[in-house]
């Protein structure tokens, strides 16, 4: 009997020496950790979450696309300046007309400024101003002053096709809708990041609770093993009774190791949701605990429908899908307008001036000297691509994009309906599970108290026997 007791006592004694040290080590590590509240985790998520940062850059890209599309309505200024010197040799027939002149020289200096402005109704306005100063051999021989000519004109282009008139503004509207959709995507990414962080945080809290329970169960079972060993040493109970308690201790140790691993994984999930560095995450512990369950909340029948209505009104991904469908519809209209032949009306009005003077500065003065009557011009241009494959292919692409956006919107609406129902039912069942768990914990606490009472009674009998 003595040998058996020693044999059974040896591994238990080793474990009883090691277990308190290991548990104390884990407890000391948790005690020195930095507390992290839920609101702090959310703030960190909004600042460091990579998905939110990526979507923020997508919004910037959409802003750039809108700016690029709006650039077609920018005013374009074109400045031109030039100097030309032409030397023309005289032939045998023209040489006698110019005594002692082997060649004719003509020099001209010109400047022009032109503006081009595309309006959102499709009109194009192009004012133009140009001046030219001409000198040369002919002026010298004829004793003519330098010829300063100026021309002022205003050119107007009116697209006669209604679709082409509207296409310019519609392309900008499509880009604006795409930007609005990107902003809604950013809202949805932020919401997803917050939901992911909140879920990961509470799972972290739950894992911490499970770990504490497993650790306390292991500690209590180790204490029970020590007390049973005392009873065996006092020959109050047989040594075989220790086997079942030792098996329970091993189960509790295994459960504690599993809970410790689950706690580590839950903390890593929180790190992925918030974007925290691993070394920073290892020093944290949850600060907040589960809020109390509101009695009667889950029994309300209209909650699910109200949640569905809120989801259909406020879900940012649904708003983004609707905006993208609208943008695809607008782009389809733009592509459809390109299928039409191009019919344009061109109008121009202006006047010309002439000033004969030797001073170079008189070029600008020519704008107000010797004005001609108004110059008026009008024309109609018609352009019809025979096959028009480019426009037809683009229209086919935009039509397919619109169909895809419509299908995606319907699928998302259906997914939201099913998701709200599943999430609400999960809340109800989780709450019921939590209530059952609380009742189970209460029963376990009573059981632990009973076991402690039995152990105390056994210790008292051991002490009385020893006396």
pLDDT at 409: 94
Q: Which residue has the higher pLDDT, 244 or 400?
A: 400
Read off the pLDDT band of 452 (50, 70, 90). low
- Given a cut of 90, whether residue 75 has pLDDT beyond it is yes
Read off the pLDDT band of 95 (50, 70, 90). confident
**Nearest-angstrom CA–CA distance, 388 and 92:** 56
The backbone torsions φ and ψ at residue 379, rounded to the nearest 5 degrees and listed phi first, read: -160, 155
pLDDT at 463: 54
Mean pLDDT, rounded, for 316-338: 93
pLDDT at 18: 46
- Given a cut of 70, whether residue 117 has pLDDT beyond it is yes
| pLDDT mean across residues, the chain | 82
Instruction: Classify the C-alpha dihedral 281-283-285-287 as positive or negative.
Output: negative
Mean pLDDT, rounded, for 233-250: 79
Q: Which residue has the higher pLDDT, 103 or 437?
A: 103
pLDDT at 237: 73
pLDDT at 223: 83
pLDDT tens for each residue of 251-275: 889 989 999 999 889 988 888 888 8
Read off the pLDDT band of 115 (50, 70, 90). very high
Read off the pLDDT band of 294 (50, 70, 90). low
Mean pLDDT, rounded, for 421-435: 80
- Given a cut of 60, whether residue 5 has pLDDT beyond it is no
Sheet holding 103-118, edge to edge: 76-89, 103-118, 124-136, 147-159, 342-356, 375-383
- Identify the CA nearest to 311 among candidates 196, 416, 198, 194: 416
pLDDT at 24: 47
Residue pair 256/215 in contact by the 8 Å Cβ criterion: yes
The backbone torsions φ and ψ at residue 56, rounded to the nearest 5 degrees and listed phi first, read: -60, -40
State which of 2-6, 14-18, 34-38, 411-415 shows the largest mean pLDDT.
Answer: 411-415
Mean pLDDT, rounded, for 391-417: 94
- Worst-scoring range by mean pLDDT, 118-122, 202-206, 424-428? 424-428
66: Cα within 13 Å, side-chain hemisphere: 18
Q: Which residue has the higher pLDDT, 153 or 236?
A: 153
**Nearest-angstrom CA–CA distance, 219 and 213:** 10
pLDDT at 161: 82
- Given a cut of 50, whether residue 29 has pLDDT beyond it is no
pLDDT at 358: 61
Read off the pLDDT band of 293 (50, 70, 90). low
Helices (H), 339-388: 362-365
pLDDT at 180: 95
pLDDT at 456: 64
Residue pair 353/150 in contact by the 8 Å Cβ criterion: yes
CATH classification number, 2-49+171-326+410-466, choose in 3.30.360, 1.20.1600, 1.20.58, 1.20.272? 1.20.1600
- Worst-scoring range by mean pLDDT, 159-163, 182-186, 236-240? 236-240
What tokens were used for 80? 């031109």
pLDDT at 19: 46
Mean pLDDT, rounded, for 37-47: 87
């Amino acid at each position: 009997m003595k040998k058996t007791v020693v044999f059974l006592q040896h591994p238990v004694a080793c474990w009883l020496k090691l277990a308190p040290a290991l548990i104390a080590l884990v407890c000391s590590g948790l005690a020195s950790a930095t507390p992290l509240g839920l609101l702090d985790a959310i703030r960190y998520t909004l600042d460091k979450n990579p998905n939110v940062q990526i979507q923020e850059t997508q919004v910037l890209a959409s802003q750039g696309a809108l700016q690029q599309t709006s650039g077609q309505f920018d005013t374009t200024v074109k400045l031109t300046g030039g100097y030309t010197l032409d030397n023309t040799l005289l032939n045998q027939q023209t040489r006698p007309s110019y005594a002692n002149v082997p060649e004719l020289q003509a020099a001209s200096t010109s400047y022009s400024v032109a503006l081009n402005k595309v309006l959102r109704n499709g009109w194009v306005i192009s004012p133009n101003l140009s001046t030219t100063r001409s000198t040369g051999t002919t002026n010298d021989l004829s004793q003519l002053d330098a010829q300063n000519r100026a021309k002022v004109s205003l050119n107007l282009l009116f697209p006669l096709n209604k679709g082409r008139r509207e296409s310019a503004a519609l392309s900008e509207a499509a880009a604006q809708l795409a930007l609005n959709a990107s902003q809604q995507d950013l809202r949805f990414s932020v919401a997803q990041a917050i939901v992911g962080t909140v879920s990961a945080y509470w799972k972290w809290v739950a894992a911490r609770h499970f770990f504490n329970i497993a650790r306390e169960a292991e500690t209590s079972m180790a204490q029970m093993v020590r007390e049973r060993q005392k009873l065996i040493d006092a020959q109050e109970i047989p040594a075989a009774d220790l086997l079942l308690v030792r098996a329970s201790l091993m189960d509790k140790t295994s459960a504690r190791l599993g809970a410790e691993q689950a706690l580590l994984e839950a903390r890593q999930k929180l790190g992925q949701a918030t974007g925290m560095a691993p070394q920073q995450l290892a020093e944290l512990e949850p600060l907040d605990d589960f809020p109390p369950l509101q009695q009667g909340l889950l029994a309300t029948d209209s909650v699910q429908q109200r949640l569905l209505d809120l989801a259909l009104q406020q879900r940012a991904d649904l708003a983004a899908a609707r905006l993208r469908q609208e943008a695809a519809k607008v782009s389809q209209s733009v592509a459809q307008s390109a299928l039409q032949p191009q019919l344009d009306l061109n109008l121009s009005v202006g006047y010309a001036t002439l000033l004969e003077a030797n001073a170079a500065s008189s070029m600008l003065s020519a704008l107000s000297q010797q004005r001609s009557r108004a110059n008026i011009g009008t024309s109609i241009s018609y352009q019809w691509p025979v096959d028009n494959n480019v426009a037809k292919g683009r229209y086919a692409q935009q039509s397919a994009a619109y169909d895809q956006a419509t299908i995606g919107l319907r699928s998302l609406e259906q997914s939201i309906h099913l998701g709200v129902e599943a999430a609400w039912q999960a809340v109800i069942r989780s709450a019921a599970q939590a209530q059952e768990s609380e009742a189970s914990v209460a029963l376990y606490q009573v059981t632990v108290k009973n076991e402690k009472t039995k152990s105390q009674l056994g210790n008292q009998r051991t002490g009385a026997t020893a006396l």
